[in-house]
Structure 1
Amino acid sequence: MNKFKILFVISAVAIGLMGILIASINEGKKEQAQINSVPKIDRWETRNEEFRKHYPRQYDSWKQTEKSDDIDDLLKEYPELVVLFAGYGFAKDYNAPRGHAYAVEDNRNSLRTGAPVDEKTGPMPTACWTCKSPEVPKIMATKGDAEYYTGKWSKYGSDIINPIGCVDCHNPNTMELQVNRKYLAEGLEAEGKMKLEDATQQDMRTMVCAQCHVEYYFKKTPNPKGGTAVAVTLPWAEGTGVEDMERYYDNLDFKDWTHKISRAPMIKAQHPGYEMWKTGAHGKNGVSCADCHMPYKNEGGVKYTDHKIANPLDDIASTCMNCHRVSEKELTETIAEKKARKDELHKKAMKHLAAAHLEAGKAWEVGATKAEMEPILLDIRHAQWRWDYAVASHPAFFHAPEETLRVLATAIDKAGNARIKLAKVLAKHGASDYVAPALTSKKVAQEITGLPFKQLVDDKKKFQKGLLKEWEKDAQEKGIYNPSSTKSIEKLKTSY
């Protein structure tokens, strides 16, 4: 009798567990079916939280990008940067990138975007919003690219409010991956190797990232409605290698700015992550951006893409270990070694470049001629472009370690050539004993370059207390901003 009771209890428990399992599987299938279906969402719904109703797991994982909130002040870490970018916005404020959730806040708070008092003031063009928000492709689609690119950064202060999110990469009508910024297709066409319309699904898992993580410049073009559009343009007509784009810029006689100290015509590398990725093992073997930065997850029988776009090493089991057949310890040690090599050359290049700019400034001061300085300034231009290209794409050492080291080596070589030539010019003009001052801190570097840092900060704080609050109020009234969506964000977290 006892045996029957025991068997009965075991059977009942087993049936109960089986029922729970079946219910769980059915629930997972139901949710998976919901994910696979395409709900009705407005084509230009830019409030990311609205997508949570249909894609809760994707949204919740995207929300995790808020955890990447540390402010890493690169000017403090590398004071040489203040000299390298003297006369340009990056000498004012240059932080390591944070999570996608902070794209709008960081753009607003950066000293580079200045302190406008209305929609017509401020140092930067509207193009500086281009990769920060899904509202950008919405404006491009409704007003046209030329109109979007015309005017100052503050023009769209109350229209661009939600950070990088769903509509940047997806068409809500189909939820297919979609590039929403035309300049990528134009750049690919100029390169002549691939057309965007021919991209496979695997290609698109990189292309949606490449619409922002690329090298670009601002090209001035007439706006038919009046004014001058300053349009994001990809310099790929000569190719996507560092020498190719350098040649492209030289042929155009293009410069982002004239260096305040050396007077060199400078190029600012943006973030050529895609171009560097192409040269590395991952790019050559068809490993997409999403494969490493947005791995698939399985929860409760539901498979979805993790939208916490971050360092793949943070979840190495779901990323690298899918392909690499070594231990996690061995792989992380190898990566650390590669990064250390890059850091060594990176620091050497910065020191040589900073010294070259200061020595060039001294050469002008003691009477150097334009003819004497032109070849020197070209070396400085090319050296800094190559150094910047290798480090501004951020994880270039990971995407393409060999190419990163090669490019940094050429940067050091060209900076060294500039300094050898400068030594001769300085000696000719009686200043052979000149030694560039030591850049011991961010403050010291700012004093040497004459940067009015305190005034920049004071002006920015006035903007934050005034016009910025008006922007948020206006955006809320327009129905494109829900204040609760950013309640977990420290809005005024800065390096200053």
Structure 2
Amino acid sequence: MKRSTIVTILCVIVMVPMLLLAVSIKENKAEQAQINATPQIKKFEPRASEWGKYYPRQYDSYMQTRKSDDIKDVLKENPAQIVMWAGYGFSKDYNAPRGHYYMLEDNLNTLRTGAPFDEKSGPMPTACWTCKSPDVPRLIDKMGENDYFTGKWARHGGEIVNGIGCADCHNNETMKLTVTRDYLKRALDAEGSMPFADATHQEMRSLVCAQCHSEYYFKKTPWTDANGQEQTAAVVTFPWNNGFSAEDIEKYYDERSFVDWTHKVSKTPMLKAQHPGYETFITGAHGKAGLACADCHMPYVREGGVKYSNHNVGSPLKDIANTCLNCHSGTEAEFKKTVEDKLARKDELHKKATQVIAKAHLEAGKALELGATDEEMKAAQTDIRHAQWRWDYSIAAHGSFFHAPEETLRVLGSAIEKGQEARIKLRTLLAKYGAADFEAPDFSTKEKAQAVIGLPFDKLVDEKNQFLKGLKQEWFQEGQERGIFDAKSREGMVLKTSYPTK
């Protein structure tokens, strides 16, 4: 073969890969430039599919959260909680959270939100929508915060029709992370250790999550509407003035004599923890090391030359190789086994606490039935209030033990201690009134526990089924007529509940 031919062949062999590489780099740069370009998305656009036109990878990964669709009935697994929440919505229905795709759907379907038949009926206030939809910041901008937080949950049914989406966390012009619920800003400023204005980008990667994954209550706030009428708004408020710990927040509520509800059996003025994920996260090793929620729940991934944040928000344990093992050593199997062993210890204390506190409620109820006075009951009821608050704070965020295992176990331990102190006081009272041998009734199954507290479960289910077939469907129709409903946000969605549907 001629030398010139050999040289030509060698040149082709070298040049072809270089040309392909150049084309690939050019395409990747073009794609990255498209991602970095300023999109044309209107302010407070609630339809995630509109954002997805510009950010298809992020949108497609977000849509993967619909795979996390299993219903896990927490009350069936641990019926003691039904007794603990007697007289409160969580005794009716409480499931483990599913993927973000289902947040609005589950809010609509739960027995806790009841079966309203018009905008003024139903058990829950408007505030119960607040963390479920990008329609919320749109409505607050349109109506004003106090007006939005006034009235019943059903009032905004035809306006809140899209599940959690892009507009909850991103500025429509710059795509920068943004907090769309001002109550978080107020709470950070009130606590003082990190004013919102000083938040870094890394801190914002947690704060956009903290808008919803935090403890809150509905603060009664008087205001005057445009017609001069006196109104009262139930404004979502974070109780962080004293700090973030269980005891700090407990003190905040006690100082204000705040009560979420009065227990149906023990007549205790109760507190209900919501989901203090941010509060527990910042006390743990990951938070103290400067990690953000997104580092573990939304890790960066690469496709070709494009790097983006995976919006398939879920447990890091479902993708250990790309989350935990970025920092931790060992294999996936070893890491998962370690976590499972630790979690079993937390579950042991968690279930022990529920048994102790549920029995304390029933013993308090018996003491009241026998004639114990308010003064005689006060000390035991205070212990019950504090015991259940601490138990609830330690488990309501679901991921709390992973975020802060030492703090979770500490708080659970104090919950058991407070519960036992209440039972000792109540045993003394029961003996005084001739019932020293009283034993709490059996609440070992969901059905038995609901019977113990007199919950009309079948009636609640029948009413809810009427709502699901009627008003719920009307709301989505109204949203469609308004041009705000994103049909893709419910694509392929199947009705799933922990109660029978008809």
Q: Quick check: TM above 0.5?
A: yes
Q: 1:494 aligns with which of 488, 493, 497?
A: 497
Q: For residues 367-415 of structure 1, give each alpha carbon's deviation from its aligned partner in whole angstroms, at most 9, with x where no partner exists.
A: 1111111000000000000000000011111000000000000000000
Residues 390 and 411 of structure 2 are in contact (CA less than 8 Å); yes or no, is this contact kept in structure 1? yes
Q: For residues 300-325 of structure 1, give each alpha carbon's deviation from its aligned partner in whole angstroms, at most 9, with x where no partner exists.
A: 11000000111011111111122223
Unaligned runs of 5+ in 1: none
Give the corresponding residue for 2:264.
260
The residue matched to 1:171 in structure 2 has which SS? coil
Mapped pair 1:395 → 2:399: yes
User: Using the alignment, how far apart are the partners of 2:476 and 2:173 within structure 1?
Assistant: 28
Give the corresponding residue for 2:183.
183
Give the corresponding residue for 1:57.
57
Q: For residues 236-276 of structure 1, give each alpha carbon's deviation from its aligned partner in whole angstroms, at most 9, with x where no partner exists.
A: 11111110110110111111000000110000000001110
Q: For residues 428-450 of structure 1, give each alpha carbon's deviation from its aligned partner in whole angstroms, at most 9, with x where no partner exists.
A: 10111111122221011111111
- CA apart distance, 1:208: 0.5
The residue matched to 1:112 in structure 2 has which SS? helix
For 2:150, the aligned partner's letter is T
Matches within 5 A, 1:360-371: 360-371=364-375
For 1:235, the aligned partner's letter is P
Residues 101 and 489 of structure 2 are in contact (CA less than 8 Å); yes or no, is this contact kept in structure 1? no
For 2:396, the aligned partner's letter is A
Q: For residues 31-59 of structure 1, give each alpha carbon's deviation from its aligned partner in whole angstroms, at most 9, with x where no partner exists.
A: 11111222121011110011111000000
Q: For residues 214-240 of structure 1, give each alpha carbon's deviation from its aligned partner in whole angstroms, at most 9, with x where no partner exists.
A: 111000011320421000011111111
Q: 1:338 aligns with which of 337, 342, 365?
A: 342
Q: 2:438 aligns with which of 434, 439, 455?
A: 434
- CA apart distance, 1:9: 6.6
Give the corresponding residue for 2:139.
139
Aligned residues: 495
Residues 126 and 151 of structure 2 are in contact (CA less than 8 Å); yes or no, is this contact kept in structure 1? yes
User: Using the alignment, how far apart are the partners of 1:431 and 1:107 within structure 2?
Assistant: 43
Residues 48 and 486 of structure 2 are in contact (CA less than 8 Å); yes or no, is this contact kept in structure 1? no
Give the corresponding residue for 1:294.
298
Mapped pair 1:381 → 2:385: yes
User: Using the alignment, how far apart are the partners of 2:45 and 2:470 within structure 1?
Assistant: 28
Residues 126 and 149 of structure 2 are in contact (CA less than 8 Å); yes or no, is this contact kept in structure 1? yes
Give the corresponding residue for 1:105.
105
Give the corresponding residue for 1:159.
159
User: Using the alignment, how far apart are the partners of 1:401 and 1:140 within structure 2?
Assistant: 37
Residues 87 and 258 of structure 1 are in contact (CA less than 8 Å); yes or no, is this contact kept in structure 2? yes
Q: 2:248 aligns with which of 241, 244, 247?
A: 244
Matches within 5 A, 1:65-464: 65-225=65-225, 226=229, 227-464=231-468
For 1:412, the aligned partner's letter is I
The residue matched to 1:218 in structure 2 has which SS? strand
Give the corresponding residue for 1:45.
45
- CA apart distance, 1:483: 2.4
User: Using the alignment, how far apart are the partners of 2:368 and 2:161 within structure 1?
Assistant: 46
- CA apart distance, 1:30: 1.2
User: Using the alignment, how far apart are the partners of 1:188 and 1:317 within structure 2?
Assistant: 34
Residues 220 and 228 of structure 1 are in contact (CA less than 8 Å); yes or no, is this contact kept in structure 2? yes
The residue matched to 2:233 in structure 1 has which SS? strand
Point out the more displaced range, 3-12 or 393-402: 3-12
- CA apart distance, 1:457: 0.7
The residue matched to 2:224 in structure 1 has which SS? coil
- CA apart distance, 1:331: 2.5
| Cα gap change, 1:479 to 1:241, in 2 (>3 Å) | same
Q: For residues 137-188 of structure 1, give each alpha carbon's deviation from its aligned partner in whole angstroms, at most 9, with x where no partner exists.
A: 1111121100000010011101111111101000111111000100011101
User: Using the alignment, how far apart are the partners of 1:435 and 1:15 within structure 2?
Assistant: 86
For 1:495, the aligned partner's letter is S
User: Using the alignment, how far apart are the partners of 2:271 and 2:152 within structure 1?
Assistant: 21
User: Using the alignment, how far apart are the partners of 1:62 and 1:124 within structure 2?
Assistant: 29
| Cα gap change, 1:63 to 1:7, in 2 (>3 Å) | farther
The residue matched to 1:223 in structure 2 has which SS? strand
Q: For residues 182-218 of structure 1, give each alpha carbon's deviation from its aligned partner in whole angstroms, at most 9, with x where no partner exists.
A: 0011101111111111111001001101111111100
Residues 125 and 230 of structure 1 are in contact (CA less than 8 Å); yes or no, is this contact kept in structure 2? yes
Mapped pair 1:482 → 2:480: no
User: Using the alignment, how far apart are the partners of 1:369 and 1:6 within structure 2?
Assistant: 105
The residue matched to 2:386 in structure 1 has which SS? helix
Q: Could you state the TM-score of these two structures normalised by the residue count of structure 1?
A: 0.97
Point out the more displaced range, 2-11 or 79-88: 2-11
Residues 135 and 160 of structure 1 are in contact (CA less than 8 Å); yes or no, is this contact kept in structure 2? yes
For 2:51, the aligned partner's letter is F
| Cα gap change, 1:436 to 1:4, in 2 (>3 Å) | farther
User: Using the alignment, how far apart are the partners of 2:376 and 2:130 within structure 1?
Assistant: 40
For 1:172, the aligned partner's letter is N
User: Using the alignment, how far apart are the partners of 1:440 and 1:410 within structure 2?
Assistant: 24
| Cα gap change, 1:179 to 1:484, in 2 (>3 Å) | closer
Q: Could you state the TM-score of these two structures normalised by the residue count of structure 2?
A: 0.96
User: Using the alignment, how far apart are the partners of 1:313 and 1:15 within structure 2?
Assistant: 44
Residues 47 and 162 of structure 2 are in contact (CA less than 8 Å); yes or no, is this contact kept in structure 1? yes
User: Using the alignment, how far apart are the partners of 1:25 and 1:333 within structure 2?
Assistant: 42
Give the corresponding residue for 1:471.
475
User: Using the alignment, how far apart are the partners of 2:127 and 2:13 within structure 1?
Assistant: 64
User: Using the alignment, how far apart are the partners of 2:450 and 2:13 within structure 1?
Assistant: 73
For 1:106, the aligned partner's letter is D
Residues 150 and 223 of structure 1 are in contact (CA less than 8 Å); yes or no, is this contact kept in structure 2? no
Residues 163 and 489 of structure 2 are in contact (CA less than 8 Å); yes or no, is this contact kept in structure 1? no
Q: For residues 345-365 of structure 1, give each alpha carbon's deviation from its aligned partner in whole angstroms, at most 9, with x where no partner exists.
A: 000000001111111111111
The residue matched to 1:177 in structure 2 has which SS? coil
The residue matched to 2:322 in structure 1 has which SS? coil
Residues 49 and 488 of structure 2 are in contact (CA less than 8 Å); yes or no, is this contact kept in structure 1? no
Unaligned runs of 5+ in 2: none
The residue matched to 1:434 in structure 2 has which SS? coil
